[in-house]
Amino acid sequence: MDDRTLRIAIVLIGHLMWLSTAAIRVFRGEQALRFSGRGNLFIQLYQYLVWVPLVIATLFATGQAELGLEWQVAGVGIALVSSLLGAWAMWTAPRSRYPGIVGYHVGAALALESVALIVATAVLVLPYTAARVLAERRER
């Protein structure tokens, strides 16, 4: 598999979750972007901002590490399973979608051989996801 094919696969796999989010909003008759007026705007924008490191890595930071084809294929598999579980969780138990999002980022980092994405996942995505989960728990 070449890098272009892997990038396309990762983007398409990610759309399983992205399109699930959009479909749920349409199905429920919600606006695309709605702010509750409560809490931190940064936390409310999670569903849009959590993907920024992935987009940047997909466009600019691939092939930084030579992992080998088997690791890249494993990364695609991890990303696919995580995306499917994340999409399923969005429909059945929305608060449990976060492991799918994080798993997808890890799988994408392996598939794209991106050191930048694994660092961004550890430094940005994990803490941001934890902050979002804590904010949701406080709202309950």
Mean pLDDT of the chain: 84
**Structure tokens, 118:** 């694994």
Q: Could you tell me the residue range of the domain that residue 33 belongs to?
A: 3-139
The model's confidence at residue 109, banded by pLDDT at 50, 70 and 90, is: very high
> pLDDT at position 84, please?
93
More confident residue, 7 or 13: 13
The model's confidence at residue 81, banded by pLDDT at 50, 70 and 90, is: very high
Please tell me the least confidently modeled range out of 36-40, 92-96, 132-136. 36-40
Q: What is the count of structural domains for the chain?
A: 1
The model's confidence at residue 39, banded by pLDDT at 50, 70 and 90, is: low
What gap in Å lies between CA 10 and CA 4, rounded to an integer?
A: 10
What gap in Å lies between CA 30 and CA 69, rounded to an integer?
A: 42
Burial environment of residue 6 by CB neighbours within 10 A (0 to 12, 13 to 18, 19 or more): buried
> pLDDT at position 64, please?
79
